[in-house]
Structure 1
Amino acid sequence: MADAAADGWLVEQGIGEERALFYRDGNVMAARLRWPGGLEPGAVVEGLLVSRTRGSTRGHAVFPNGEEALVDKLPRHASEGARMRFAVTRAAMGEAHRIKLAQVRPTQEPERPAPALTAILPGARTIFAFAHGDWENISDLAFEGTVSFSGGSLHFAPTPAMVMVDVDGHLPPRDLALAAVEPIARAITLLGMGGMIGIDFPTLEAKADRKTVDIALEAALADFDHERTAMNGFGFVQIVARFERPSILHLFQHDRAGAAVRLLLRRAETLTGPGRIELAAHPAVMARLSEDWLGKLRQRTGKELSMRPDATLALDAPHAQLIPR
């Protein structure tokens, strides 16, 4: 298990995923999640230019895995039907009713896979498993999209335009806004969020009160690289940050079964003791258990597996346990 006193990035290499937690003084301060397999930033992949906009440097490409991407910075000589190498600059983003395609640009660099989290995160170290509960707290937050704090709550909702953060509670508006600042900043870093983030604070009529919240938010987000608007008269603040890959919130909210099956596999892999492993989950989760992943689980644990679909289990509540032979 992880050393609770360790500082810096620690990475778990799960089945179908990589997880990372940043520790400071034994506390989890930030998190990252990678689901390999698609077009990811840092990869250089050969693809087919299937179309380009007349008189523009933009186009549309398709890749051997079937994934499509938007192309930018096309040279004049690039014609439809050409096979080219592309550098991935942004991964695809799942949204409520559509997939926002990955973004790529032509390159002469040799093909290469996307980097692992250990290559992206400075000083990252690979471990077998985090301390119990550390990742579970992150996954619960990502599944629910809600945070409770003294006097109120937050609701995080990915939309096509931005992630909206709704602040609600029973405190007076100024007190509620100030109480929400630290939980908002913590959730943003724990969920690895970026892009456009809109925060709907309660309306504060006094300019001095809005300024007080702005100052508090600036301090809370001091370690988060971003730009931010001042709170307007309706209590709205907009944050803009670099966004190359889906946040943990995006991954869990758009593909709940995919997130749950990876949690199930990780729980199974960390079981210790004799017996076979029973995997129990909602049928929609069980349907995502590929033979490749099950084979890796058998290889890593050296144990027999049995499956128990259970429609009474919540989608986000898969269960793994050891069954005596």
Structure 2
Amino acid sequence: MGEIAPQWLIEHGIGETRALLIESGEVRAAKLAWPGELRAGEMHPAKLVEKTNGSRRGVALLENGIEVLVDHLPPEATEGATISVQITRASVAERGRLKRAQARCVPEADLNNDCAQDTLSLGDHVRRLPSGLWEEVWHAASSGEIEFAGGTLLISVTPAMTVFDIDGTGSPRELALAAIPAIVQALRWFDIGGNIGIDFPTLAAKADRRAVDEALATALADWPHERTAMNGFGFVQIVARLEGPSLLHRFATSRTGMCARYAMRCAELAEGIGPVLLLTVHPALKAKLKPEWLDELARRTGKQLRIETDPAIALEAPHAQILTHE
């Protein structure tokens, strides 16, 4: 019997769309999108509102009122002209600022023949993702940690780059090599792109640094990127295509929003027989539960909803249960 190819499964949740790449029952990669967000590959008509003198760059205004940075402008394009653009990177929120989405100008014919497809369009749409898999990815992204044999990979988001730090026991060479599968897992699970820094244990011997470089190259052979060799302090820099916010970026800039959507999923998955669905959340989440989300939850479950708050539970640990009485 031949091997089963990896398969993207798409779940349309309340307030977000989730995607997992599944192979042999395990998660290989994940993606997340929120309604109303721009996505890489989308085509849009736009108005050129600003053009930088002497360059092919500028700012365009989409029909939905969102401004995007645009490049590949033709020389004859003037401010006020209607152009067609393709999104190359969604907007990315950072602490204190929002990086505007990026796009490139394309021929108008391409707008009317939009064949751009992405993972969230091409995957198999399912009612529910396999039990426990999204939760595993979500909690790992929430903590910013992945454990591996002999150590822990700690991942944090900064304005300049996503930084990986390796902590554990054993010799520096053994620890660095053991961390590589976790690094690959984190890159794919959390949909990380852009500038990435990996702080390996310091390896004094060139042969040890070369061994780690080769192991990392092999592990990332099918993941498009550019990478520096490890320097004398154990640091490796990776640059990969950035199409939008990673799961880590979302937690760093909108933790309550992530947790509110997770609470909706927990409530939707609650099992039992009874007329009432009780959802208990941290007080900070209650205001994030949009009325349209609650209406959709009631429609999907067919239950009467009751929302309660408990300051003793964590943002990341909502509790949902079916009550047998009103």
Q: Which amino acid is 1:312 matched to?
A: A
Within-5 A mapping of 1:46-125: 46-107=45-106, 108=108, 109-110=110-111, 117-120=119-122, 124-125=123-124
Deviations 1:114-153 (A, max 9, x none): 8564424xxx322221232211110111111112233322
The separation in 2 between residues aligned to 1:116 and 1:220, in whole angstroms, is 24
The separation in 2 between residues aligned to 1:214 and 1:39, in whole angstroms, is 36
Of 162-171 and 56-65, more deviation after overlay is shown by 56-65
The separation in 2 between residues aligned to 1:288 and 1:82, in whole angstroms, is 39
**Alignment check: 8 A CA contact 2:8 2:119 kept:** no
SS of alignment partner, residue 293 of structure 2: helix
Within-5 A mapping of 1:85-234: 85-107=84-106, 108=108, 109-110=110-111, 117-120=119-122, 124-234=123-233
Describe the shift of the 1:67–1:310 C-alpha distance in structure 2 as closer, same or farther (beyond 3 A).
farther
SS of alignment partner, residue 209 of structure 1: helix
Describe the shift of the 1:319–1:259 C-alpha distance in structure 2 as closer, same or farther (beyond 3 A).
same
**Alignment check: 8 A CA contact 1:276 1:323 kept:** yes
Deviation at 1:203, TM superposition (A): 1.0
Deviations 1:136-194 (A, max 9, x none): 11011111111223332221112222211011223221222112111111111111222
The separation in 1 between residues aligned to 2:31 and 2:6, in whole angstroms, is 16
| 1:282 alignment partner in structure 2 | 282
**Alignment check: 8 A CA contact 2:45 2:111 kept:** no
Q: Which amino acid is 1:238 matched to?
A: Q
CA RMSD, 1 decimal: 2.3
Q: Which amino acid is 1:255 matched to?
A: S
Of 160-169 and 73-82, more deviation after overlay is shown by 73-82
**Alignment check: 8 A CA contact 1:203 1:234 kept:** yes
The separation in 1 between residues aligned to 2:245 and 2:57, in whole angstroms, is 23
Q: Which amino acid is 1:286 matched to?
A: K
**Alignment check: 8 A CA contact 1:268 1:320 kept:** yes
Deviation at 1:277, TM superposition (A): 1.6
Q: TM-score, normalised by structure 1?
A: 0.89
| 1:237 alignment partner in structure 2 | 236
| 2:9 alignment partner in structure 1 | 10
Describe the shift of the 1:89–1:116 C-alpha distance in structure 2 as closer, same or farther (beyond 3 A).
closer
Q: Which amino acid is 2:62 matched to?
A: F
Describe the shift of the 1:83–1:279 C-alpha distance in structure 2 as closer, same or farther (beyond 3 A).
farther
The separation in 1 between residues aligned to 2:59 and 2:111, in whole angstroms, is 21
**Alignment check: 8 A CA contact 1:40 1:114 kept:** no
Q: TM-score, normalised by structure 2?
A: 0.88
**Alignment check: 8 A CA contact 1:18 1:117 kept:** no
Q: Where do 5+ consecutive residues of structure 1 fail to align?
A: none
**Alignment check: 8 A CA contact 2:41 2:118 kept:** no
SS of alignment partner, residue 110 of structure 1: helix
**Alignment check: 8 A CA contact 2:70 2:102 kept:** yes
The separation in 2 between residues aligned to 1:115 and 1:289, in whole angstroms, is 31
Q: How many corresponding residue pairs?
A: 318
Q: Which amino acid is 1:110 matched to?
A: L
**Alignment check: 8 A CA contact 2:48 2:61 kept:** yes
Deviation at 1:90, TM superposition (A): 0.9
**Alignment check: 8 A CA contact 1:7 1:26 kept:** no
The separation in 2 between residues aligned to 1:47 and 1:322, in whole angstroms, is 48
**Alignment check: 8 A CA contact 1:95 1:158 kept:** no
Q: Where do 5+ consecutive residues of structure 2 fail to align?
A: none
| 1:317 alignment partner in structure 2 | 317
Describe the shift of the 1:308–1:66 C-alpha distance in structure 2 as closer, same or farther (beyond 3 A).
farther
**Alignment check: 8 A CA contact 1:197 1:240 kept:** yes
Deviations 1:67-110 (A, max 9, x none): 33212122334333444432211101122232111002233143
The separation in 2 between residues aligned to 1:114 and 1:303, in whole angstroms, is 39
The separation in 2 between residues aligned to 1:230 and 1:18, in whole angstroms, is 37
The separation in 1 between residues aligned to 2:94 and 2:220, in whole angstroms, is 26
Q: Which amino acid is 1:281 matched to?
A: V
SS of alignment partner, residue 111 of structure 2: coil
Describe the shift of the 1:6–1:55 C-alpha distance in structure 2 as closer, same or farther (beyond 3 A).
closer
